[in-house]
Amino acid sequence: MTIKIISTAPIEGQKPGTSGLRKKVAIFREPHYLENFVQSIFNSLDGIEGTTLVIGGDGRFHNEAAIQTIIKMAAAAGFGRLLVGQGGLLSTPAASAVIRKHYAFGGIILSASHNPGGVDGDFGIKYNVSNGGPAPESVTSKIYENTKTIREYRIADLPDVDLDQRGSFNLAGCSLHLIDPVEDYAELMQSLFNFDKISSLFSSGFRLRFDAMHAVTGPYAKRVFEQILEAPTGTVINGDPQPDFGGHHPDPNPVHCAELVQALITTPLSSDIPDMAAASDGDGDRNLIIGRDLVVSPSDSLAILAANAHLAPGYKDGLAGVARSMPTSQAVDKVAEKLGIPCYETPTGWKFFGNLLDASKATLCGEESAGTGSNHVREKDGLWAVLLWLNILAERQQSVTDIVKSHWTAFGRHFYSRHDYEAVEAAAANDVMQHLRTELPALPGTRAGQLPIERADDFSYRDPIDGSVSANQGIRIYYENGARSVFRLSGTGTEGATLRVYLESYEPDPTKHDQDLQQALAAVIDAADAVSQLKKKIGRAEPSVVS
Ligand code: VG1
Ligand code: CO
């Protein structure tokens, strides 16, 4: 193999602690930019010679071009076998499944997840390690250091490969396998869920509408729902992956899925209202579940899945424990309490769940941002969540809405909402966080708006397995009666800063469960603004997105 060694200069790389490198497509298309980052990954790894690397992406603009480059660089780096999704596609959870099943050294996933795609959109790259999960901070900090010192990269002098074919090819000593992106994943799903039961649910007339949002889950959803489970053709909408996601924003929340939410409103009752709807994001790791007249809050979804997981064959022996990210509502805590299992609270980002899953301390994990998953892979998994819901519906023979309401009756309702302030000037956003940090010690015992503050802190996490500490993960303010507000800065935005405010209140009284969500949270919303001075400091009257 002829290897070219190209001189280059350091780049602004992925900050350790963030989920992959995300930038505008234009930056990724600058000469050497992608190459520098890929070489920085390889330079951070020991013992890759002859091992397997998995490569795939969510199909967004620049996906194929990036994969051509990565194949040549991986061959030059000494990998012995490359597993690449046909068409350059692999959803994030499928990549995790492929890494685990084929004992790969790691994987490179091209995605900026829910961020918009297209020539003017965002692109991203992340590295996953051999357990199938996102690289831990020990690896990402090495990658980051390498991006600051890189002087050259190595690339094999090979022609481009036709990614649309399937099969095995020899790249001068390195074997390249273009694999069916769905097969291993679909097989794994069949090992976890009762496909016969779910299939009978569909044949009895139950109707699902799954919106793949023109992103990577289209081929997965079509195969699993329409082919294997024999749901009617048309169950999957927007099922063809497009480089710009059809101009849409593949973020499964009620704002970006407004049409889907609308389709399940039952007044006036028409004959073609689906029983359930669901959507996934760009790279297939998130999910939104919608019942008739009800969008299931992702935090509630985690709690409900935890309470009912034993109904699916893969979880019939119960759960070892559950884990949720800190800003996720405390609904799952109540379930864990009842089940008598531990509930872990981790910082935002899936990588913190990896150690708990590897050590069998947690079986189910979730985040408020529509990510849920289990020990079957080391990423969150959108389609998995939809299938677990379907398995539960098939067993309980109740509607999504009835299951949610009966859950609230049994456990109380956690009203929950996230208010995002996007593209805020970084200095102003930092000022809000700084102000809160300075005020913290004096807050307990005072009032914010109408609400008495019980305690407040800046969340710090000590990993129970490896003892590593992640500090400054967000400000938590606990008010009386279980209400809470959380403030943190996003690590995934690409324009200015995104400030996220997470709002929660707890209502044990079932007669009050039907209140309007924002109304039920009004006192916490006021308190959060009073204590942070947020609107004044960033000069915004309203959040950009309420979900
Ligand atoms: C967001 C979500 C977080 C999620 C992360 C990656 O991060 O809030 O829960 O883990 O995206 O998800 P942030 O830092 O912007 O709040 V994905 O679907 O992009 O892998
Ligand atoms: Co995602």
Q: What is the pLDDT of residue 387?
A: 98
Quote the tokens at residue 483: 């209400």
Catalytic residue positions?
113
Rounded CA-CA distance 145/515 in Å is 51
- What CATH code would you report for 3-181? 3.40.120.10
Q: Which amino acid does the sequence have at 267? A: T
Q: Which residues pair with 502 in a beta bridge?
A: 418, 486
Closest Cα to residue 235, out of 246, 244, 224? 224
User: Long-range contacts made by residues 62-66, C-beta under 8 angstroms, separation at least 24?
Assistant: 62/25, 62/28, 62/29, 62/110, 62/123, 62/243, 63/88, 63/89, 63/110, 63/243, 64/88, 64/163, 66/28, 66/34, 66/110, 66/123, 66/125
pTM score, two decimals?
Answer: 0.95
Q: How far is the CA of 529 from the centre of ligand 2 (A)?
A: 29
Angle at 245 (CA atoms; ends 301, 217), nearest 5 degrees = 45
- C-beta atoms surrounding 472 within 10 Å: 14
CA atoms within 13 A on the CB side of 360: 2
Quote the tokens at residue 106: 């790691």
Rounded CA-CA distance 283/278 in Å is 15
Q: What is the pLDDT of residue 17?
A: 66
Q: Which of ligand 1's atoms lies nearest the C-alpha of 349?
A: 10
504 phi/psi in degrees, rounded to 5: -150, 140
Query: Does residue 367's CB lie within 6 angstroms of at least one atom of ligand 1?
Result: yes
Q: Is domain 413-546 given the CATH code 3.90.550.10 in the classification? A: no
End-to-end CA distance of the chain: 52
Where are the domains positioned within the chain? 3-181, 185-411, 413-546
Q: What is the pLDDT of residue 14?
A: 72
Topology adopted by domain 185-411: Alpha-D-Glucose-1,6-Bisphosphate; Chain A, domain 3 (3.40.120)
Rounded CA-CA distance 482/302 in Å is 19
Instruction: Please list, in sequence order, all residues whose beta carbon lies within 8 angstroms of the beta carbon of residue 376, skipping any fewer than 6 positions away.
Output: 97, 188, 192, 314, 384
Angle at 101 (CA atoms; ends 97, 104), nearest 5 degrees = 95
Q: Which of ligand 1's atoms lies nearest the C-alpha of 350?
A: 10
Query: Does residue 353's CB lie within 6 angstroms of at least one atom of ligand 1?
Result: no
Q: Cβ-count burial of 262 within 10 angstroms (0-12 exposed, 13-18 middle, 19+ buried)?
A: exposed
Q: Hey, is 302 helix, strand or coil?
A: helix
Q: What is the pLDDT of residue 269?
A: 78
Please name the residue whose Cα sits nearest to atom 18 of ligand 1: 113
Please name the residue whose Cα sits nearest to atom 9 of ligand 1: 369
Query: Does residue 330's CB lie within 6 angstroms of at least one atom of ligand 1?
Result: no
Q: What is the pLDDT of residue 481?
A: 86
Q: How far is the CA of 15 from the centre of ligand 1 (A)?
A: 15
484-489/475-479 β-pairing:
antiparallel
Q: Which residues pair with 108 in a beta bridge?
A: 55, 127
Q: From the CA of 216, which ligand is nearest?
A: 2
Rounded CA-CA distance 56/186 in Å is 17
Q: How far is the CA of 349 from the centre of ligand 2 (A)?
A: 11
Q: Which residues pair with 423 in a beta bridge?
A: none
Q: From the CA of 353, which ligand is nearest?
A: 1
Query: Does residue 281's CB lie within 6 angstroms of at least one atom of ligand 1?
Result: yes
Domains 185-411 and 413-546 fall in the same CATH topology? no
Element counts in the chain: helices (H) and strands (E):
18, 27
Among 249, 351, 369, 498, residue to substitute to test ligand 1 (most atoms within 8 Å of Cβ): 369
Q: Which of ligand 1's atoms lies nearest the C-alpha of 19?
A: 6
Residue written as tokens 């690590």?
Answer: 491
Q: What is the pLDDT of residue 151?
A: 95
Query: Does residue 350's CB lie within 6 angstroms of at least one atom of ligand 1?
Result: yes
CB-based contact 293:401 (threshold 8 Å): yes
Work out the widest C-alpha separation in the chain, in whole angstroms.
73
Q: Which residues pair with 343 in a beta bridge?
A: 322
CA distances from 380 to 155, 434, 452, 492 (A): 32, 31, 36, 16
Query: Does residue 373's CB lie within 6 angstroms of at least one atom of ligand 1?
Result: no
- Full pLDDT tens readout for the chain, 547 residues: 899 999 888 888 777 667 678 999 999 999 999 999 999 999 999 999 999 999 999 999 999 999 999 999 999 999 999 999 999 999 999 999 999 999 999 999 999 988 889 999 999 999 999 999 999 888 999 999 999 999 999 999 999 999 999 999 999 889 999 999 999 999 999 999 999 999 999 999 999 999 999 999 999 999 999 999 999 999 999 999 999 999 988 999 888 999 999 999 998 878 789 999 999 999 999 999 999 999 999 999 999 999 999 999 999 999 999 999 999 999 999 999 999 999 999 999 998 999 999 999 999 999 999 999 999 999 999 999 999 999 999 999 999 999 999 999 999 999 999 999 999 999 999 999 999 999 999 999 999 999 999 999 999 999 999 999 999 999 999 999 899 999 999 987 777 899 999 999 999 998 999 999 999 999 999 999 999 999 999 999 999 999 9
